[in-house]
């Protein structure tokens, strides 16, 4: 079983910047309806406490996910373009921000005719008592934020989570008739840890799993090996990102050197974890308009 210390080392990827100097509001909540969620059949995490839902700074969040699922959020058939996006929320692989970084963008994509698929991937276990979870994570976040200020705080996707992302991509492409999806127009969008998982998804290049487009929202920005034939990359990040803002622009530069197309949006302020709507009062607010333009340029808005 993964040690609690190694689990909490990744917590910093999930917590909004404002929380570094104050208590983060955390409250238990009932699990929302997940009708239509499809088990991916990738196995279960052993010795995992029960799945737990809570609000983190007001955002519905889940932790201790033992079994991966994929939830389709489909457009009206009359407006469907045949394009699809698999969405993976952030959370440092110890939790997933399921509203701000998953369901909200899924509904938005469906409103624009794109079939969205919310991936709830397997996580590392965390302490079951909420107070223990909160206090230990807060302490670890402070240390991780300090490391990020020096260019650190990178993390790779755990094998189980990566296997879930690969299974999700295969499933969407396999069920073209069921969901009206073109298997040659399946994108992947990840936030924070979900974006890191997307980078690993492209690098692994397992058959049937490489996305046709890849949107990485506040990902790790360090240089990384990129395979030939990598899909077009969209990056949205704030220059004051506490975790990755000191890493420069190694990720898009690595993509470009490998021959991949890159669209990079760097916002003056917004911090880490500004969510799908961006941080109010900063230019990161409304960043998704740029995403929509990019998707349109690649034909995702056209039947």
pLDDT value of position 302: 96
Among residues of the chain, what percentage have pLDDT more than 70?
A: 85
pLDDT tens track for 35-80: 999 999 999 988 899 999 999 888 999 999 999 999 999 999 999 9
Say if residues 86 and 9 touch (Cβ distance below 8 Å).
Answer: no
Tokens of 143: 């240390």
- Residue 261 pLDDT greater than 50, yes or no: yes
pLDDT value of position 132: 80
pLDDT value of position 149: 56
- Residue 10 pLDDT greater than 60, yes or no: no
Residue with tokens 């963008």: 105
pLDDT value of position 130: 86
Tokens of 54: 């809570």
250 to each of 68, 136, 167, 170, 188, how far by Cα in Å? 31, 32, 28, 29, 20
Low-confidence winner among 62-71, 125-134, 136-145, 178-187 (lowest mean pLDDT): 136-145
In this prediction, residue 16 has a pLDDT band, given cuts at 50, 70 and 90, of very low
Residue 189, helix vs strand vs coil: strand
pLDDT value of position 257: 97
Q: Which residues pair with 238 in a beta bridge?
A: 267
pLDDT value of position 127: 87
Mean pLDDT of the chain: 88
Q: What's this model's pTM, rounded to 2 decimal places?
A: 0.90
Residue with tokens 């929320």: 89
d(CA 147, CA 172): 38
- Residue 13 pLDDT greater than 50, yes or no: no
């Amino acid at each position: 079983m993964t040690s609690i210390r190694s689990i909490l080392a990744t917590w910093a990827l999930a917590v909004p910047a404002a929380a570094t100097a104050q208590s983060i509001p955390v409250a238990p909540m009932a699990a929302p309806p997940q009708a239509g969620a499809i088990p991916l059949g990738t196995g279960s995490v052993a010795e995992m406490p029960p799945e737990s839902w809570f609000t983190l700074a007001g955002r519905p969040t889940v932790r201790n996910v033992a079994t991966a699922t994929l939830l389709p959020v489909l457009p009206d058939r009359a407006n469907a373009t045949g394009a699809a996006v698999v969405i993976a929320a952030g959370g440092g692989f110890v939790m997933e921000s399921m509203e701000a970084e998953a369901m909200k963008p899924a509904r938005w994509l469906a409103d624009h005719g794109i079939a969205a698929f919310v991936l709830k991937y397997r996580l590392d276990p965390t302490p079951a008592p909420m107070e223990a979870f909160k206090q230990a994570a807060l302490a670890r976040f402070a240390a991780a934020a300090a490391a990020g200020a020096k260019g650190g705080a990178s993390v790779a996707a755990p094998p189980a989570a990566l296997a879930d992302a690969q299974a999700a991509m295969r499933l969407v492409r396999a069920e073209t008739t069921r969901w009206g999806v073109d298997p040659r127009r399946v994108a992947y969008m990840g936030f924070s840890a979900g974006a890191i998982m997307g980078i690993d998804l492209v690098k692994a290049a397992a058959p049937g799993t490489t996305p046709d487009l890849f949107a990485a929202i506040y990902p790790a920005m360090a240089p990384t090996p990129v395979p030939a034939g990598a899909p077009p990359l969209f990056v949205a990040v704030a220059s004051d990102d506490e975790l990755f803002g000191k890493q420069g622009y190694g990720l898009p530069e690595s993509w470009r050197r490998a021959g991949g197309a890159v669209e990079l949006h760097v916002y003056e302020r917004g911090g880490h974890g500004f969510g799908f709507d961006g941080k109010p009062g900063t230019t990161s607010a409304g960043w998704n308009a740029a995403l929509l333009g990019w998707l349109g340029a690649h034909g995702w808005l056209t039947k």
